[in-house]
Structure 1
């Protein structure tokens, strides 16, 4: 079920895990500044799973990069547990479209890399890495190298590596975009299981409406550039135990709502691309 909501203020009276206030981002270009994000506000509580959908170029990844600390906002602030985000940090685990793994390291060493970089001794880091590889179903592949794994398996290694420092929030930038549909659906079930097991807060960028509906507790639909919130919803599909929930009439109706909201924004995004 999809229910309209507002994510600009903390829900359920809790102090937000992630709070964004009046955030905007502009980039310089030869023809002048390009406004990627309009002033944007957002609150997420601990354990929320937010999916952000929107047309290409609307600032979804820019938003995630600001939260990750890779980009500095032009205006506004982003705070995690009340602390201002000023740069990258181990409390934010990031997974990209590509696994970004070290091909010269084994799978186990890749996952242990983060804890080792934070000063944890080798034995403890490897023990933690092995636990996470078991969590993502890759314990038997610990000694393999990334180039020996399929794309889906590499993404699972990337998720394990992002979890290795026990981050407060996971930031996922279309991590399954390059995978075939069957692998993608299986990994969506896997990430939902991991989220329920760990209780992590998640911000997930995606172009897939079905993926957002299947995974999220909250969904934001963004406008064309400069990106801002067009609509926000709470979603209950992620709590269903039905593996075929995506074929239900309720799921189809929710998808139609979001498709309708995105249609005009996608056309505007195309117009902007042509104008440039």
Structure 2
């Protein structure tokens, strides 16, 4: 564990893939203002799978939305490859808690939509869609519509659609939060396999310590509002494709350590709500 918020820069260039540089965010003005984030500095290396953990309302999703270009910080700057983020960019793909699929399009057309929008031919977009549907295990459901799929399958389509745009960074805002425990565990294994295959840079929001430890190369634990980086961890479990790593003594030890930190912050958040 480290209390230092900077994760490794890219070894080839010395420039991190992402840098949150003294980010603050305040919503509202005057007496109604809410300070969501106090200065947050965090570096994410290229190819890292970084999880943000913290109590509800601590600013995890706000940080993700600032990197996505959906929000502007009140102060500070976020950089990608050394360049300031000015707004949404196809190099950053976003997957939300719900699949947000086009209900009037079948699965294949949903995944092909992005490539078509960026100028790919119908045939090429179809090949790209087929490739990523195969990757997420949905090749046999290409002609189905979103309403015909389970929640877990819809999330797989959302992941395939994000990957089809070939983003450099995947931003995942609690994508498995609404799923049952068994489906969630299976999709965690699936996303780890996809990350091993693609080596995309990932920023993942979660409330689950187990999920973070299983998936992440880097974990940043955030404080109660106003959010700041309280501690960082560099678990090794993401390197393994064996799901039984969750039963190891080292996994349990690190989980207990993070649990203690999060409990402190959850209690602080609870006190804020009661005030």
Q: TM-score, length-normalised on structure 2?
A: 0.96
Secondary structure of the residue aligned to 2:243 is: coil
Q: Distance in 2 between matches of 1:10 and 1:217?
A: 11
2:209 matched residue in structure 1: 209
Secondary structure of the residue aligned to 1:227 is: coil
Secondary structure of the residue aligned to 1:225 is: coil
Q: Distance in 2 between matches of 1:186 and 1:200?
A: 20
1:19 matched residue in structure 2: 19
| Structure 2: runs of 5+ lacking an equivalent | none
Deviation string 1:115-169 (CA, Å, 9 cap, x unpaired) is 1112222211111111000011111111110110111110000000111110010
Q: Distance in 2 between matches of 1:66 and 1:32?
A: 22
Secondary structure of the residue aligned to 2:203 is: strand
Secondary structure of the residue aligned to 1:244 is: helix
Q: In structure 2, do the counterparts of structure 1 residues 235 and 5 end up closer, same or farther at CA, with 3 Å as the change threshold?
A: farther
Alignment of 1:209-248 (within 5 A): 209-248=209-248
What is the aligned-residue RMSD (CA, Å)? Answer: 1.4
1:166 matched residue in structure 2: 166
Report how far residue 12 of structure 1 moved.
6.3
Secondary structure of the residue aligned to 1:4 is: coil
- How many pairs were matched up? 273
1:51 matched residue in structure 2: 51
Alignment of 1:23-172 (within 5 A): 23-28=23-28, 31-172=31-172
| Structure 1: runs of 5+ lacking an equivalent | none
Q: Distance in 2 between matches of 1:118 and 1:128?
A: 13
Q: Is the 8 A contact 1:7 1:44 kept in 2?
A: no
Q: Distance in 1 between matches of 2:55 and 2:175?
A: 17
2:6 matched residue in structure 1: 8
Report how far residue 240 of structure 1 moved.
2.1
Deviates more, 1:211-220 or 1:261-270: 261-270
Report how far residue 247 of structure 1 moved.
1.5
Q: Distance in 2 between matches of 1:200 and 1:118?
A: 20
Q: In structure 2, do the counterparts of structure 1 residues 240 and 5 end up closer, same or farther at CA, with 3 Å as the change threshold?
A: farther
Q: Is the 8 A contact 1:48 1:201 kept in 2?
A: yes
Deviation string 1:177-226 (CA, Å, 9 cap, x unpaired) is 00000000000000000001001000000000000000000000000000
Report how far residue 10 of structure 1 moved.
4.0
Q: In structure 2, do the counterparts of structure 1 residues 12 and 116 end up closer, same or farther at CA, with 3 Å as the change threshold?
A: closer
Q: Is the 8 A contact 1:217 1:238 kept in 2?
A: yes
Q: Is the 8 A contact 1:5 1:234 kept in 2?
A: no
Q: In structure 2, do the counterparts of structure 1 residues 30 and 6 end up closer, same or farther at CA, with 3 Å as the change threshold?
A: closer
Q: Is the 8 A contact 1:6 1:233 kept in 2?
A: no
